Structure 1
Amino acid sequence: MITNTMNSLDKMKKEFEGLKNYLIKRATPALGEDAVKAFISALEEYDSALREALERENNKSESLRDENETLRSISGVGPVGVEAKLLEKAAENKFLRDQLLAVKQGLDSALRKVDDLSVEKEKLRQDFESSLMAREKERKRHESDIKSITDKLSEFDKKHSEQIALLEKKRLELEQSVARGKKEGRTEFVREYKNVISRVHAMASIISVNAQLCLERIEKSRVAGHENIENKADIENACTTSREITKVLELYLGMLKEVEPKYEKVDLSAVFEKLKARFAEQQSRKKTRIIWPETKSIAELSLDPKIAYEALSCLVDNYLEVSGPATKLDITVARQGDVLSCSFKDNAPAIKPEEIESLFLPVWDTRSGYRNMILSQSRHLAELLGGTVTFEAKGREKIFTISFKSRAPEESK
């Protein structure tokens, strides 16, 4: 009987190993390796516990058989009693085997479910692959469309850039043509205007000379005792007027000069020394005082020395035009970066408010004479050098400030 029990245990062990291998083979693809390992581990624990229980029962049976043999030998109990005991144990073992078979049936049912899940999984995988292939096809189609659009945009951008470049070229050519036309037109106008003014200037000069000759003859007549000089006042007026006209026309001719700055290194000390020498006699005659600036601390500048000299001259001339005795002109120089500023501060008679608005207009005025024309010429020359002339009144003081922009000689080319 014990031999049959051992054989049953060996058979159960083989069936369990077969069931485990079958489960690993069939369930792993569907449930995954980790889940199957966990399930097999639980089954092995259950199998181990069952084997231990059966071995304990077997050992117990062996012990009982020995006891029975001992008791039979002692009490005379026959093998029939022992057999009955073994049958009881066999019934228990059968119960355990029935339980194991029930577990196997449960595993078979689970495996069938796993097979169903595997079929479902395969169907889902095929659906996914079909969807993936469709998306890949759609992606390639979109990439082809994008490439086609990109190529068209590139071609359009190329043509557009070429058109813009062509239009820009035409625009520059048109601007240059307009600039040339303006310059040529202005040059022609200035040329004709200068011719007219030159002829008027020549006639005014002739009138002035003739008037002067008349005055000299009248003076000789007066010395000779001839007092009949009724036309003397008219002749003096004609002489004065013609001189005024001559000076105005000379100023206009100077303003019509077409000047292109020629930049070079300039020593301001030399420029102001020339100005000092130029106005020394007039300053002495007017009994005015000019404080010339200290220029040694100013580094050399790149200017057109002739234009700068004439522009500064105009401002000194402007002061001497209206100054009287005991007046003072204070000239200071400052530099900030590439900009040079010269301030002319004087205490000559104040400029009237109504005169300020037209201060730089290039016209002769009965009140201010040539002053506006001189200041206009100064501003015109300063602007040729990238600067300007400004005016500021502080009480009795009047401040004219002229600025120039220094630049490298190659910038003027």
Structure 2
Amino acid sequence: MSPLPAFDAHDPLGIDDLLGDEDRAVRDTVRSWAADRVLPQVADWYERGELPGIRELARELGSLGALGMPLTGYGCAGASAVQYGLACLELEAADSGIRSLVSVQGSLAMYAIHRFGSEEQKQRWLPPMAAGEVIGCFGLTEPDHGSDPGGMRTHARRDGADWVLTGRKMWITNGSVAGVAVVWARTEEGVRGFVVPTDAPGFSAPEIKHKWSLRASVTSELVLDEVRLPADAVLPEARGLRGPLSCLSHARYGIVWGSMGAARSCFETALAYATEREQFGKPLAAFQLTQAKLADMAVELHKGMLLAHHLGRRMDAGRLRPEQISLGKLNNTREAIEICRTARTVLGANGVSLEYPVMRHSTNLESVLTYEGTVEMHQLVLGKALTGVDAFRG
């Protein structure tokens, strides 16, 4: 009988055993890139509230194969869902804003074109987007309609062979640096998606300032003032809300993994701090209450990582339902933010300093908790699935 492997405080459940060599190579490549290109500077970016060099970062991410990672063809990597999840985890362990850049590019804008676009749209946009040469954004949320996209006011009308779009979208990641926007609008035929070049007359994307979350990220409003588009700008295979909602499911899957990256960063920071910091003549880690905090954080972190792996395997097998993604997003974002808050208490006053990543992750997760569906929305998704009763408008 072979001896048991040593206990690993950073992988207490041995989750690494679930990965193949290619999975580990993807994870390690993204982790190394983030350590080199993001971690040394992200605290300054966050403090300044900007993401300088975003286009260069996008091209580097494209060269890694991280943009549109699980999509096939058109320059995309064709990676597994688990490998994409591992990439999201490593990117968000650096910063949620970087993972958001990748998620919006690949899981929203590129996925919409890949899944619902014409062959001409795919050929035109996907290769440069996969390479990071063109940044995309996804316009669904509106100033007055966040959780209820069915109430959107942005509309598109036919004018001869053209479409004319009018309306506003809000809280759009990548908006003011995007070369293309996938915009959803109400038409006489129902909700349709449009591929909008951002240099089209009437399109503007003023950047949103004064954020206290996702500060190392570009967030914008989209303004469409009689934007005229040719007939072939519409996504031919998307009709109704099923189109944008399927894109959101794809993005939520990345959040299931990414939120655990932020949580891991905070847990590992707290663990290292507790072993090094002394109070009352001994390390913080020697106190029972500190050990209780670390144990609880480790339990929820690695439960969440197991959940992410399970959902990834189901997605790779073509068996992952939207309700299961909601379960993962609800649990992992909620637990991640609690892990970060607990880690902050271990660090004491140092927990609020940008010398450590904990407060930055905590404030970022306030956005991650809300976007791609609030806690309440995912509770109602699960409630409907469990009971068969739709309570969204009840």
Per chain length, whose mean CA-contact separation is higher, i.e. which structure has more relative contact order (CA < 8 Å, sep 6+)? 2
- Bigger Rg, which one: 1
TM-score, normalization: structure 2? 0.25
Which structure has more helix as a fraction of its residues? 1
